[in-house]
Amino acid sequence: MSSEAAPRKIPYLDHHATTPVDERVREAMDPYLGPEFGNASSSTHAYGWRAEAAVDLARESLADLLGASSPAEVVFTSGATESNNLAILGLADASTSPGHMITVATEHSSVLDPCRALARRGWQVTELEVDRSGLVSPDRIEAVIQKDTRLVSVMAANNEIGVLQPITEIAALCLERGIAFHTDAAQAAGKIPLPTGAEGLDLVSVSAHKFYGPKGVGCLRVRKHGKPRLRLEPRQYGGGHEGGLRPGTLPVAGVVGMSRALEITVAERETEAARVGGLRDRLWRDLEGTLAGRVRRNGEPKRTLPGNLNVTFEGVDGERLLGDLAGLAISSGSACSSATAEPSHVLLAIGHSRSEARASLRFGLGRGTTQQDVTLAVERVGRAVRAQLGEH
């Protein structure tokens, strides 16, 4: 037996980037990674039939949990990034001519970049600013609607500052005006209730790995009935899978895992929100108490994801701070943007300077977060900030 001590576990406080696969999800996936390896499109033998049956059950469950009117509204993708692109570019490509669409400056890059690509193709795109809390009002959206507005895209919960946009009200506005409404629900699905049925969520993007499912699988919920009539063009071709919208062999284990993960997250939503929200509130109180006058909270505390805390430290070098916190799994913003040296576009949009945006941290608390994790985070962050400021 080795005499070496086991490596100390690093507290994981980056649940907005990804979540660990729940053991119950892993168990549900396991048969489809082994003996039940069939292709769900193989219609001539039992291996394919059993795989198809597993996909059908998963699709039915996801349709129910995501408020779809039928399982056919669930289109499997590789994740919310692909779903966002399919929703935005697919709707545009199905249009006979360029029109107008509305989005928000704090959206994920997988929404902003497709919109900007369409602007280069002749579409008129309005990127609305947000207030200092990160919110956009339905009145602001209504004020910029035009006769040829075809799509409004507003995320349900921000991936950096956790703010919850008023998507129910925005959806109702779009429904009244006959405009398609898309929401990136990657951070929200399972964690907060989403409008269901005929309440106007026409296109909903989801990623399994944000709610304790596997990476590499997600879906786009596409409304099939009602008005406005939705038509999407596929982004790729070959095979006719997923109603012709997303060809390719389905990852049966991933689809089963996503369904099980969302079932568990929804079932445990209220108790977990209360637990994680309490830890988040304690984290903020203790940080504020430890670094009085040196830290401020970003976003709108009364409208935020339970596990989100985004803070800015006064007079601190953000890059150095992250380096000093190697013993914590945290981030300064979106994992999808961490390869660039640019400060968070979300924090810039709510009025931060570039140096303030760089001196910010995003804490993402989740199912595995403990009181001890919070205590360690406060101790290490407090020590690192005070050291930079020459305080002891």
Give the tokens for residue 316: 């601190």
Closest CA to 36 of 22, 44, 46: 46
Q: Locate tokens 């095979």: which residue?
A: 239
- Measured over the CA atoms of residue 115, residue 120, residue 125 and residue 130, the dihedral's sign is positive
- Give dist(CA 173, CA 14) in Å, integer: 34
Amino acid at 2: S
Paired tokens of 194: 């989403």
Torsion sign (Cα): 24, 26, 31, 32: positive
Contact (Cβ atoms closer than 8 angstroms) between residue 181 and residue 172: no
The pairing of beta strand 295-297 with beta strand 308-313: antiparallel
| C-alpha dist (Å) from residue 255 to 57, 156, 203, 219 | 10, 23, 19, 9
Quickly list H helices, the chain: 23-29, 46-65, 80-93, 109-120, 138-144, 167-177, 252-267, 269-290, 318-324, 345-349, 354-358, 371-388
Q: Is 219 one of the annotated active-site residues of the chain? A: no
- The catalytic position among 115, 174, 219, 336 is 336
In this structure, what DSSP letter does residue 54 have?
H
| Active-site amino acid positions | 336
